[in-house]
Amino acid sequence: MVSKTVIWNSEGNLHMRPAGLFSEQMGRYESSVRLRYGEVRADGKSMMNLLAAGIPSRAQVEVECSGPDEEAALACAARLLEEELGE
């Protein structure tokens, strides 16, 4: 398992559009992907789990990946949250 703490780099909460794009991208990896915000854990491949996590703007989120392509999944997840999905 690998993990990294990132900042959800957006002016708004993690809402439907970025959650859908994130889960779609994570679905391309064999590894499991989990996001942890406080005490809440969310499956990174489930848009509904991500929405239910209630991640607010500029939140510190820990991304955990486990599996055969965990390094690549973690790099992609971090890039998406920090750089590409923010609005």
Q: Is the pLDDT of residue 86 over 70?
A: no
What's the token pair of residue 82? 């920090």
pLDDT confidence of residue 12: 83
pLDDT in tens, 10-51: 888 889 999 999 999 999 999 999 999 999 999 999 999 999
pLDDT confidence of residue 16: 92
Question: How many CB atoms are closer than 10 A to CB 10?
Answer: 19
HSE (side-chain half, CA atoms, 13 Å) at 51: 10
State how far the Cα of 64 lies from the Cα of 28, in Å rounded to an integer. Answer: 16
- For the chain, what is the domain count? 1
pLDDT confidence of residue 28: 97
Q: Is the pLDDT of residue 87 over 70?
A: no
pLDDT in tens, 45-78: 999 999 999 999 999 999 999 999 999 999 999 9
* Residue-range definition of the domain harbouring residue 12: 2-84
CATH number of the domain that residue 50 is part of: 3.30.1340.10
Residue 33 β-bridge partners: 65
State how far the Cα of 50 lies from the Cα of 47, in Å rounded to an integer. Answer: 5
